[in-house]
Homo-oligomer: A and B are copies of this chain.
C-alpha cells in the first residue's frame, strides 16, 4: 500500500523481478519448490546475485509465487461459512480447498513443515494468513457442537499439512482421503 507512489525501483529491476517470478513458477511446477536456485536463475536468464537481491531467502520467492492463491484460500473461509449448511460443512470444504492447493504444489507441504533454517518466513506467512481463518471455522463448528472443542487451529493445520506431504510421489497414498478421515475424527 505505502509502496504505491514510490518510484524507487529502476525499470530493469522491475522487469527482472517479474521474469524471476514467472521462471520460478515454471520451475516449481516441473522440479518442485526445492529446485536448485541456479536452475531458476538460468531459466530466468539472470545471475544468481539477482535472485538473492530480489528474494533474500528461498521462502520469500515461494511466498511471492503463491501469495495470490494463499490469500484466495484465506478469503474463501468466511464465504464458505456464510454459504454452507453447517459450520462443519464449511470447515470440511475449506480444508478441501487448502488440501487441493497443497497437493498440487510439488514438495510445498514438506518444506512448509521442515524445520530447516530459512523456511521460518514461509511457515510464518502461511500461519499468519490461514490460522485465523481456520480458527474461526473451528470455533463455529465447536460452538454448534459438531466437533470436539479441545483442538487448536494450529494443530489441525499442521496435521492436515503433514498429511499432504509426499502426496504426489506415491500413487498408493491418497492425501485427500486421509485428510477426510482426520476431519471425520473431529466429530463429537
State which of B115, B166, B178 has its C-beta within 8 Å of the C-beta of A115.
Answer: B166
Interfacial chain B residues near A66, Cβ < 8 Å: none
Interchain CB contact under 8 A, A155 and B182: no
Report A144-172 residues with CB < 8 Å from chain B CB.
151-152, 154-155, 158-159, 162-163, 165-166, 169-170, 172
Judged by a CB distance under 8 angstroms, whether A177 is at the interface is yes
Complex-state Cα separation, A182 to B182, whole angstroms: 4
Report A33-80 residues with CB < 8 Å from chain B CB.
none
Interfacial chain B residues near A178, Cβ < 8 Å: 155, 158-159, 162, 182
Complex-state Cα separation, A115 to B170, whole angstroms: 9
Please provide the 4 A-B residue pairs with the shortest distance between their CB atoms, ordered closest to farther: A185-B185, A184-B185, A181-B185, A159-B178
21 contacting pairs across A/B (C-beta < 8 A): A110-B110, A113-B165, A115-B166, A115-B169, A115-B170, A152-B172, A154-B173, A155-B174, A155-B177, A158-B178, A159-B163, A159-B178, A162-B162, A162-B178, A180-B185, A181-B182, A181-B186, A182-B185, A183-B185, A184-B185, A185-B186
